[in-house]
Amino acid sequence: MTERAIVNASWVFSPGSGTPPLADASLIIRDGIIREIGPAAEIDTRGLECIDASGLVLIPGLINTHDHFLECLTRALPAGQDVGLMDWLHVHNPIWSRATPEALRSATQIRAAELLLSGCTTTVDHNYLWPNGCRIDDQIEAMQAMGMRFHVARGSVTIGESQGGITPDSVAEDEDSVLADCERAISQYHDPGKGSFLQIILAPCSPYSVSADFMERTAALARREGVRLHTHLAEGADEQAWCLENLGQTPLGHIEDLGWLAEDAWFAHMITLSAPEVIRLGMSGAGVAHCPCSNMRLGNGIAPIQAMLARGVNIGIGVDGAASNDGGGLLAETRQAMLLQRVDQGAAAMTAEQALSMATRGGASILGRDDIGALAPGLCADIAGFRLDALEMAGGAVHDPLAALVFCPPPRADLVIIGGEMRVQKGELIGHDIPAMVARHNTLAKALIAP
């Protein structure tokens, strides 16, 4: 049994919980679970290893609900800087199709490092190209060294260019082989239990990259195995037009016809929805990964987040891949989520606490987890701490320490704890040499562009 305490935190907040913030608070963690939380003067920490959190505001670890780690090799690529989604895919797909297992492992660790330093403790990745022997196992092995909770989506593309798709034929997979590999990954890795560090998601890339029949077979497999479903949906006008022309349906109508519109599925983007579709989405229990930076970067539009929240849709935040963001800071993404709704709906459209609630409780909800996303006894000890005296929040945190996290430019996390284990201390990632990681990664990124 491991037991330790986090003591004298200046503030402890659990956004969206309805419980008031605690000033000068301490927590006791036993076997990775929060056992007690309360005013420092009332928590008995005698004899325990104590982590000092004075000067910090503590919040639940942030949850990243949509990403493509592989894209970390192709940030800010000149040919992809100023083009919309379909042209952007045409630029990048041939490059990603040259990736190696070593490059995928490096991209996984680079992204994990960036997420951790932004206060993220649980992440999804949705890789859908598996060239040159790349496997989901490469990502899992790389992530185990980073200590994050990992919901790894086994993505797929089964329609290559010769069949009318937008991905080189060399990486279009056979449908039966994909489903067999999904089954293998679930039986080998999926842990559905409380405190899980690894779960498998089934995630065909999008309606325009796999067949309708394959979508249905994937959903059937997921439900037989008790795992969740994920895909891109309603990302922009191009996809909407393609679906209407080729499928005779809107993206949401298509996925609904295939049995995907249900509480065990969540969808990235969800921009081009009609008002009746928002209602159907809300009634279905399905979730949404909101990716504001990517939506702005690619010029796809503004997701109707306020309308979805009003209809009870569960919404999390996702940074999306590094070729369309091009950053992995989840606190920064949360800030953009708040600001972008205000562009569309006015200054009262979203509060700081609502945005932070989406990045914590909302993310946990769409991943089907009731053991993370809040700070309370009985929940996993996944905690992010930010310095109140950070330069970015000078003159701000003194007025409202929670709101300052997203109104001010996002500070780097000073303390990150996952399952009771310290992963970031004094703003530094423990056990990893970031300059060496970046140097190796840059070599791989250059080789990918000019093999």
- Nearest approach in angstroms of CB 126 to Zn ion is 6
Residues 409-448 interacting with Zn ion (rule: CB under 5 A): none
- Nearest approach in angstroms of CB 86 to Zn ion is 14
- Which of 215/390 has CB closer to Zn ion? 215
Binding mask 299-338 for Zn ion (x = CB under 5 A): ---------------------x------------------
Residue 38 CB coordination number (10 Å)? 14
- Which of 129/416 has CB closer to Zn ion? 129
- Which of 320/382 has CB closer to Zn ion? 320
What span, in angstroms and rounded, lies between the C-alpha atoms of 355 and 112?
22
- Nearest approach in angstroms of CB 367 to Zn ion is 16
Burial of 349 (0-12, 13-18, 19+ CB in 10 A): middle
- Nearest approach in angstroms of CB 269 to Zn ion is 7
- Nearest approach in angstroms of CB 294 to Zn ion is 7
Q: Read off the amino acid at residue 160.
A: G
Closest-approach residue to Zn ion (CB):
320
- Nearest approach in angstroms of CB 68 to Zn ion is 6
- Which of 138/320 has CB closer to Zn ion? 320
What are the angstrom distances between the C-alpha of 201 and each of 13, 136, 150, 154, 222?
30, 11, 10, 6, 8
- Which of 173/320 has CB closer to Zn ion? 320
- Nearest approach in angstroms of CB 44 to Zn ion is 47
What are the angstrom distances between the C-alpha of 435 and each of 103, 110, 326, 343, 354?
17, 11, 19, 38, 35
- Which of 50/77 has CB closer to Zn ion? 77
**In DSSP terms, which residues pair with 424 in a beta bridge?**
416, 429
Binding mask 264-303 for Zn ion (x = CB under 5 A): ----------------------------------------
What span, in angstroms and rounded, lies between the C-alpha atoms of 112 and 34?
24
Residue 342 CB coordination number (10 Å)? 12
- Nearest approach in angstroms of CB 167 to Zn ion is 14
- Which of 13/208 has CB closer to Zn ion? 208
Residue 285 CB coordination number (10 Å)? 16
Burial of 273 (0-12, 13-18, 19+ CB in 10 A): buried
Residue 302, classed as helix, strand or coil, is coil
**Residue 158, token pair as written in the block:** 């089964």
**Residue 229, token pair as written in the block:** 């479903």
The pairing of strands 198-204 and 149-156 is: parallel
- Which of 267/386 has CB closer to Zn ion? 267
Q: Read off the amino acid at residue 194.
A: K
Q: Is the peptide bond before 326 cis (omega within 30 degrees of 0)?
A: yes
- Nearest approach in angstroms of CB 89 to Zn ion is 10
- Nearest approach in angstroms of CB 235 to Zn ion is 8
User: Binding-site residue total for Zn ion (CB under 5 A)?
Assistant: 1
- Nearest approach in angstroms of CB 135 to Zn ion is 20
Q: Which of 289, 261, 323 is nearest to 65 (CA)?
A: 289
- Which of 206/357 has CB closer to Zn ion? 206
Indicate the Cα dihedral angle 422, 428, 430, 434, nearest 10°: 150
- Which of 85/222 has CB closer to Zn ion? 85
- Which of 64/196 has CB closer to Zn ion? 64
- Which of 175/235 has CB closer to Zn ion? 235
Burial of 284 (0-12, 13-18, 19+ CB in 10 A): middle
**Residue 74, token pair as written in the block:** 């192709």
Phi-psi region of 195 (alpha: psi -120 to 50; beta: other; left: phi over 0): left
Binding mask 72-111 for Zn ion (x = CB under 5 A): ----------------------------------------
- Nearest approach in angstroms of CB 449 to Zn ion is 21
Indicate the Cα dihedral angle 377, 382, 384, 385, nearest 10°: 50
Per DSSP, helices labelled H in 285-429 are 292-297, 305-310, 330-345, 352-357, 363-366, 401-407
Site residues (vs Zn ion, CB under 5 A):
320
